[in-house]
A and B are shown apart, each in its own frame.
Chain A
Amino acid sequence: EAQVTQNPRYLITVTGKKLTVTCSQNMNHEYMSWYRQDPGLGLRQIYYSMNVEVTDKGDVPEGYKVSRKEKRNFPLILESPSPNQTSLYFCASSPGDSPYEQYFGPGTRLTVT
């Protein structure tokens, strides 16, 4: 089944403790992206990747890192999480930049205390 998977789905952590949220897709898509979703603000792009070893900042990249060493994986790294990074995170992939349909993962709910 074609899908985007994220792990973990739920995470509660403390300020400053490094964490990684994994994202994997099995559709051989070139384009992958990370978003955060907060009430009333809609989805905001954190980082995106046009292909392996090609990544770029989205609208809200501060406090996040990403890497794209393989086509299928696009992990999101929070080196020193802070409470304002408490949010719902989505990974998405598509065959290319646009106008291709984006496929979203199930989401990761992160709470930083």
Chain B
Amino acid sequence: KNQVEQSPQSLIILEGKNCTLQCNYTVSPFSNLRWYKQDTGRGPVSLTIMTFSENTKSNGRYTATLDADTKQSSLHITASQLSDSASYICVVSARSEYGNKLVFGAGTILRVKS
């Protein structure tokens, strides 16, 4: 069964600190992996999209890694800011004869405190 598991479920860190969020998946056949940021009450916004051949991708203070062999991804946030407080969602795309199927993780809720 295609699944995406994220950890931790929630995380509280101090402003200025770094943190790393984890995503493990069993989706097959793999097409690509995305990280989204979702502010409370708003729609998700894309941070990165990585295909099979990419193992690192950055977007400002956000750096995503992908290990397609172990089926793991991480999202590293550097020098956190209060505005980083949000839910971070890992989404894996599986190829099928009908097109690509997106499988969503439940998300990690990050709270950055001053």
Contacts and interface: CB of A to CB of B under 8 A. Distances in A.
A92 B106 CA distance: 18
B49 A101 contact: yes
Contacts of B99: 50, 97-98
A40 B10 CA distance: 11
Q: Is the interface of B mostly helix, strand, loop or mixed?
A: strand
A75 interface: no
Interface centre among A42, A90, A103, A105 (most CB of B within 10 A): A42
Interface residues of A, number: 21
A105 B38 CA distance: 12
A51 to B, nearest CB: 11
B42 A107 contact: yes
Chain B interface residue count: which class?
A: 20 to 34
Contacts of B44: 43, 90, 102, 104
Contacts of B104: 42-44
B62 to A, nearest CB: 14
A12 interface: no
Contact of A106 (B43, B102, B107): B43
A43 B100 contact: no
Interface of A: 4, 40-45, 50, 56, 90, 92, 97-99, 101-107
Given A40-B106, A97-B99, 9 more contacts: A50-B99, A90-B43, A98-B31, A99-B32, A99-B51, A99-B100, A101-B46, A102-B102, A104-B44
